[in-house]
Homo-oligomer: A and B are copies of this chain.
Amino acid sequence: MADVMIQTPYLLYLGSTSDPLAIKTSRGIAMFRQQDCVGEFVRGEDCLTLGLPRMSFAEAAKAGAKTLVLGVASAGGALTDELVADALEALEAGLDIASGLHGRLRDVPALVEAAERNGRMLFDVRDPSGDLKVGNGKLREGRRLLTVGTDCSVGKMVTTLCIEAAMKARGYNADFRATGQTGILIAGSGVPLDAVIADFISGAIEELSPPRHDGGWDLIEGQGSLFHPSFAGVSTGLLHGAQPDAIVICHDPVREHMRGLPHYQVPTLARTIAANLEVARLTSPDVIPVGIALNTSSMSEEEGRALCEAIGREHGLPCVDPFAHGADPIIDRIDECFGNSTQSTRRSA
């Protein structure tokens, strides 16, 4: 996946579901790549909407869409007959197909045949590239930031994207590096880390984020948590492969226990910071924390800001809800600690 870009603009598939959670991936793309979305495809009148223009596949192709994104979750992640029928119609209309479902496009002969006949591409976003290498931990040039978390699903992707937007707004060269299916569809490329073979976790991230020489930053989407007994192996390999100069710690302040595991408590922020720095130091001895990102969507604006201020003061770090308040205080800290070499280059040019 890492080496092939999914072409934009996208047509976002919503289908016929009435479950808001089922269109989570399409919604994420609409939030962070709205300029690259020409429209949405729905199957009926009273379906969910993302507020984009409604289009048929032919209309979307005419409007410049290159790829139909199946950003929906069916039961069990299967490619249903309805999804296959719609994908076939989209291929005939001249669109590529990208899918984050478990069921693979390339395992449906009719889709493979229609794609070949129309000269179109099929992207199974959950398929890692076949030729991954084992990580080597060699120090590589360029700046890297990794989001880490007290738990799974605490806003690591959103935080990383908000940091990318804020850095770009200040003239940084900065690139989001995706490690999950929604992130990959937002970025157009990436590594589906949860589907990589265990021996290649760190190697996959070294490949995702190669040395860079432009003074810019790779902003790597974190996965899992060192404190989640199901997924800490993935988080460990990700820390080692990312070789981060900086980490941002993501946290959901109202989470009652580790996701899916009522018998496991959420670790404290202090413990999370210490453990992530300790693990990261193996491949990046000078790594530092540059911020804390809270998801405050469950509280009032005032409560959210007060909580961020209190937690930031407690840990001596900028603390924000990056989606609600922007990530600027974190970028300020990055400026202080690392300078903005992109801007320096520009000023001296």
Contact = CB atoms under 8 A, between A and B. Distances in A.
Interface in A48-102: none
B236 A232 contact: yes
B233 A201 contact: yes
A196 interface: yes
Contacts of A240: 229-230, 232-233
Contacts of A299: none
Q: Give the interface residue-count category, chain A.
A: 35 or more
Contacts of A236: 226, 232-233, 235-237
Question: In the assembly, how many copies of this chain are there?
Answer: 2
A203 interface: yes
Interface string A185-199: 000000001111111
Contact of A137 (B136, B198, B229, B278): B229
A22 interface: no
A283 B261 CA distance: 12
B201 A229 contact: no
A288 interface: no
Nearest to A201: B233
Which of A135, A195, A236, A279 has the most chain B CB atoms inside 10 A of its CB? A236
A95 B289 CA distance: 59
Nearest to A240: B229
Contact of A202 (B134, B201, B229, B283): B229
A134 B198 contact: no
B202 A137 contact: no
B199 A197 contact: no
Given A194-B199, A199-B194, A137 B230 contact: yes
B227 A237 contact: no
A117 to B, nearest CB: 29
5 A-B pairs with the lowest CB-CB distances in the bound complex, closest first = A233-B237, A137-B229, A236-B236, A201-B233, A194-B199
24 contacts: A135-B230, A136-B229, A136-B260, A136-B261, A137-B261, A138-B263, A139-B263, A194-B197, A195-B197, A196-B197, A197-B197, A199-B230, A199-B231, A199-B234, A201-B234, A202-B230, A202-B233, A227-B282, A229-B240, A232-B240, A233-B233, A233-B240, A235-B236, A275-B278
Interface of A: 134-139, 193-199, 201-203, 226-227, 229-238, 240-241, 260-261, 263-264, 275, 278-279, 282-283
